[in-house]
């Protein structure tokens, strides 16, 4: 049961919802490319014009593969996905709802964090990154707004794998990802074209 929209990015919309069977809050991410997708009055999503439909379908397949990849990860500092489904002409995945705030929002609210606290958050993110790198995945969008701090226990949760890439044992890329740059956070090589 959808409660409200939490965020909308270039490739998806995230909603706060109530899982009616489990009786708990969840977040649902919907595949929806702003420039190419449209929604009619019955909530059906059309995936682009005839000329862009192939590209949108490739990104939709990548969205589903991304959800499957994240769902297979087992780390306390990585968002947990527990359902993937297709409906309304598009795809969705259901994940834990992190009650809390992003590191970005925390810093905006409080200002610079004490060194000890900041280092503790950085160590947890580094541990999550070490784990995903061992799974041959690069996140490629590490920034304060993609690091959630859970209310109560202050657990760090890494979210938003939308730009992530997977690699095989030889180091060859096995997934395609749209080019995305978080200015001020992306490494220099991501700014290079080609």
Catalytic residue IDs: 141
- 45, 26 contact by CB (below 8 A): no
Token pair for residue 51?
């000329």
Q: How far is CA 128 from the centre of its chain?
A: 14
Block residue for tokens 């379908």 = 57
Q: How far apart are CA 157 and CA 100, in angstroms?
A: 10
Measured CA distances, 159 to 81, 148, 175 (Å): 10, 7, 18
Confirm if 147 and 107 have CB atoms less than 8 A apart. no
């Amino acid at each position: 049961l959808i409660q409200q929209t939490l965020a909308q990015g270039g490739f998806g919309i995230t909603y706060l919802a109530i899982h009616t069977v489990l009786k708990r809050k969840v977040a649902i991410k919907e595949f929806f490319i702003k420039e190419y997708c449209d929604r009619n009055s019955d909530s059906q999503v059309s995936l682009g014009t005839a000329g862009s439909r192939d590209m949108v379908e490739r990104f939709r397949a990548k969205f589903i593969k991304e959800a499957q990849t994240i769902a297979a990860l087992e780390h306390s500092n990585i968002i947990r996905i527990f359902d993937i489904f297709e409906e309304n002409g598009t795809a969705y995945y259901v994940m834990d709802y992190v009650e809390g705030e992003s590191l970005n929002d925390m810093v905006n609210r409080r200002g610079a964090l004490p060194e000890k606290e900041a280092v503790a958050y950085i160590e947890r993110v580094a541990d999550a990154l070490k784990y995903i790198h061992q799974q041959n995945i690069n996140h490629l969008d590490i920034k304060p707004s993609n690091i959630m701090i859970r209310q109560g226990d202050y657990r760090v949760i890494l979210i938003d794998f939308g730009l992530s890439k997977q690699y095989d044992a030889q180091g060859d890329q096995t997934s395609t990802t749209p080019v995305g740059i978080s200015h001020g956070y992306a490494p220099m090589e991501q700014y290079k074209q080609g």
